[in-house]
Amino acid sequence: MNGPEIHVEFAPGLALFVASRRRGGPTALTTDGVASLGHVVESTGVPLTEVGALVVNGREVPVSYVPAAGDRVTVREVERPQQVPGAPLRFLLDVHLGTLARRLRLLGVDTAYESTDIGDPTLATRSATEKRVMLSRDRGLLHRRELWAGAFVHSTSPEDQLRDILDRFRPELRPWTRCTACNGLLREATKEQVADRLKSGTERSYDVFAQCEDCGRAYWKGAHHDQLESIVERALAEFSGN
């Protein structure tokens, strides 16, 4: 770029995305005099999904604003809880976030998930078509223009990932209402209704069941229930009702 010079300062939480030489204070950037501020910010490595307010010379501006010479820009983080207008809050996760997808479904959050790598263009298009918030650790994916909305998942720990997403978006929690395998809704079922899906030991030991309306998978309070219950209890204690 060979045009007006501006000075940009990024919020500390955006440092992960910004080249090290641009961290720690205002950075001089040369623009082309035509590109929008949103484009200039993205060119530094920061996905717009992670950007909150853009403030120029003390005044908030839209991403379409074209910077002028001498502008002093502050790039803020997304405010929490983040509001996602225009559709019911629901998510789409890429192939690397399977555990997070299952935990969100356990909590009753509408969560689509691709267990195979279908490619960034297809994921971005699905986000737009179904109006789902794309969750990913792939920064390139979050830069795609087709995305309806998105968010970077910071941690590699499923527990921390879940807490971060619940804190950022505060979705309504309705535990035990969705299939963790396919995201379908669960309904109560009798032992007879799910008998063909049970092993003999399970059939003898349990009497209370649920079944997915979409894939037919049967659920009961089995050996891992206490572990799942602890995940649900922690989430409800911290995030329910907010």
Q: What is the pLDDT along the chain (242 residues), one digit of tens a residue?
A: 568 999 999 999 999 999 765 656 788 999 999 999 999 999 999 999 999 999 999 999 999 999 999 999 999 999 999 999 888 999 999 999 999 999 999 999 999 998 888 999 999 999 999 999 999 999 999 999 999 999 999 999 999 999 999 999 999 999 999 999 999 999 999 888 888 877 765 656 677 899 999 999 999 888 788 999 999 999 999 998 65
CB < 8 Å & 24+ apart, contacts of 95-101 = 96/136, 96/137, 96/138, 97/135, 97/136, 97/137, 97/153, 97/161, 99/158, 99/161, 100/135, 100/153, 100/158, 100/161, 100/162, 100/165
The reported pLDDT for the residue numbered 19 is 76
Q: Which is it for the CA torsion 196, 198, 202, 205, positive or negative?
A: negative
| Whether the Cβ atoms of residue 186 and residue 216 lie closer than 8 Å to each other | no
How much is the pLDDT for 208?
Answer: 81
> What's the rounded Cα separation, in Å, for the pair 113 and 115?
6
Q: Give the pLDDT of residue 65.
A: 98
CA gap 233, 242 in Å, rounded:
15
Question: What is residue 74's predicted lDDT score, i.e. its pLDDT?
Answer: 97
C-alpha closest to that of 210 among 230, 228, 189, 194: 189
Phi (first) and psi of residue 185, to 5 degrees? -80, 145
Structure tokens at 131: 């109006």
